[in-house]
Structure 1
């Protein structure tokens, strides 16, 4: 389309790689799609730009057809950055373990319990085996009449049949757990953060790996799509038992952030215009996708220039802005309510949404 520079539309340099172009397109598509408030015409133009620059032949023709010869003024190149410092690199938080209230309550080597439970509990089975053994010993030690002998034998056979059935279920459950462990091994992290373009995502990945994986049931995922989506709609997800946290990593201005009941972000008492989040919609989508799983959303904010970020304590709200330190303390405590459980069905469902590798 004459008058529109595809490189400027996607926000990439003219020597951008195919991966950079794809990442930029995915990021813009999340906010420009008609379903989230964009216009059909603008979204079609975005698709046209991506399809052109993603195809080597079409890109070469585009670069040579005169479109790139248009003057590019400083005003056109300038992006609205809301006061960001492009040279500033946020640093990971320094957390003392004494400041993490759940840290010493967790045994990182605890035995993992897998859900759903497909076999009987061990204690009732052992009690039944013990009762059957006692019944056998009593019958052998005591001289029984013909009637009592018949009753004794009937009880032995009935109890023995139940024990055999329970043992078969134990074996089947153990085999299922063993196959699950064999398939995924000791892996705790799945997918890759967008480290090339987003320092904030890399910092969050390091944060999860360093602290949250102390919980033996935690599984961390990077780069997920919503169900029925092809885009990377969620930066990170942390699953422990039947609790799931969706995380967006943002590099935003220092200040004090809160979210209202509709999930709208406020900074220093004013609606925040320097960025947006789709987490409220994402949380609702995953709640419908994973019935029985508690889902929360966290906007993890790193400063985009020198200064501090602060947030207000918001309890168990569905979506909350948080600092990295608050994320470790509060989300870790929330997940630590059931620290050594892995729900196979929820795990497989979330893993299927990972789009990065």
Structure 2
């Protein structure tokens, strides 16, 4: 098989119908046609993909060739170590003249190291049992006060207020579903203030109350504070459970699409079709890392406010920010100022922007070790070598060895998922929420 992955070029699944392929071809051809300011080499790839996939016989033969190069599905748990194949199959390489080539310069295979099952922190359902126990005890206390009170007008008023205090103690994710919950909270809050004033008066010398009265008032005031704190903690983790549920925590490891920001908005800069294909190529290169580390999560187009990075690979308390470029053969390194050099000469690259992104994400994820990686895809037939400083915030990686080196850096964390970190990356950082 030669040339690019035709399905990837048209951005369709292998199961796409003929009509879907035709529609995708028309959209892509209009976007990349040279007369529309597109890229001629990319347009040739689109034409080649359409020629193959529009013919049922050619498409069937092409699918068989893909099956011959397909990798096995990712296992639920890590596989035992295997010996690498003596003659690895050719991998695809990006080229500026002919954007895809069959030179054997893909990533070395990364095998599972038997790290064990995925561990989730914090666990699901935290604070639920303590919250329910505290809520039941507080409800019983309020019920006892209501039952033992009189039947006068003011007794009934305070009974209603006491019942509203139970509503005040409920977890927020329950109360938000109740109509007029704001009114009930106000009534419960006023009643709690009244009980607190009664407690203060009962402790004063001028209005010294009985021991039982002081105990009841202290129990109702202290019980409300304690119960509300515990149910509030449960509600906080309940929101986390909903956002990152068991299926997402254990089974999902991909968010976003290569070449697109995680959150579609007008602040994110547009990405050229050429760069979109480069992002897809790098995302495929990361597949072996996700296979070897079941707890790793890949976020394509991760955002911190309006700042977008191509890929964010998270494993435990380590996060790799990944940006890729295409360059000629030679030795790449970063100078003391974060600029990229090729064979000792300055070479234009997004390395300084990546270093700035690393600083920003370190400020955001203070408990996470954030590091930048610049993946360099070589031109056809070229050889890329890298040299790096140990103290650099950004590391240069040759595409061939990128998966292996990223796995080596992430692997010490094991198969752990810190859901609060993942929640921040997916649901808070893109919107600049604190």
> TM-score scaled by structure 2?
0.45
Corresponding position: 1:15 with 2:89:
no
Q: For residue 319 of structure 1, report the CA deviation from its aligned partner.
A: 0.2
Corresponding position: 1:249 with 2:324:
yes
Corresponding position: 1:105 with 2:183:
no
Deviations 1:181-204 (A, max 9, x none): 346362111111129423332121
Corresponding position: 1:191 with 2:256:
yes
Q: Which has the higher contact order (CA 8 A, sep 6+)?
A: 1
Provide the residue aligned with 2:301 in structure 1.
223
1:68-79 correspondence runs (5 A): none
1:116-155 correspondence runs (5 A): none
Corresponding position: 1:212 with 2:290:
yes
Q: For residue 211 of structure 1, report the CA deviation from its aligned partner.
A: 2.8
Corresponding position: 1:86 with 2:89:
no
Q: What's the Cα RMSD here? A: 3.6
For 1:307 and 1:228, the matched residues in 2 are separated by 37
Q: How many residues align?
A: 223
Tell me: CA distance 1:118–1:264, structure 2 relative to 1, closer, same or farther (3 Å). Answer: farther
- Asked whether the equivalents of residues 114 and 343 of structure 1 are also in contact (C-alpha less than 8 Å), the reply is yes
Tell me: CA distance 1:349–1:14, structure 2 relative to 1, closer, same or farther (3 Å). Answer: farther
Q: For residue 89 of structure 1, report the CA deviation from its aligned partner.
A: 1.8
- Asked whether the equivalents of residues 108 and 401 of structure 2 are also in contact (C-alpha less than 8 Å), the reply is no
For 1:223 and 1:319, the matched residues in 2 are separated by 18
Q: For residue 344 of structure 1, report the CA deviation from its aligned partner.
A: 1.3
Tell me: CA distance 1:281–1:104, structure 2 relative to 1, closer, same or farther (3 Å). Answer: same
For 2:286 and 2:430, the matched residues in 1 are separated by 17
Q: For residue 94 of structure 1, report the CA deviation from its aligned partner.
A: 4.2
Tell me: CA distance 1:114–1:187, structure 2 relative to 1, closer, same or farther (3 Å). Answer: same
Provide the residue aligned with 1:350 in structure 2.
425
- Asked whether the equivalents of residues 259 and 265 of structure 1 are also in contact (C-alpha less than 8 Å), the reply is yes
For 1:220 and 1:337, the matched residues in 2 are separated by 17
Give 2:414's match in structure 1, choosing from 315, 339, 349.
339
Q: For residue 113 of structure 1, report the CA deviation from its aligned partner.
A: 2.9
Structure 2 residues without counterparts, runs of 5 or longer: 1-31, 39-94, 128-229, 261-272
- Asked whether the equivalents of residues 327 and 376 of structure 2 are also in contact (C-alpha less than 8 Å), the reply is yes
SS at match of 1:337: helix
SS at match of 2:298: strand
For 1:302 and 1:337, the matched residues in 2 are separated by 26
For 1:88 and 1:14, the matched residues in 2 are separated by 19
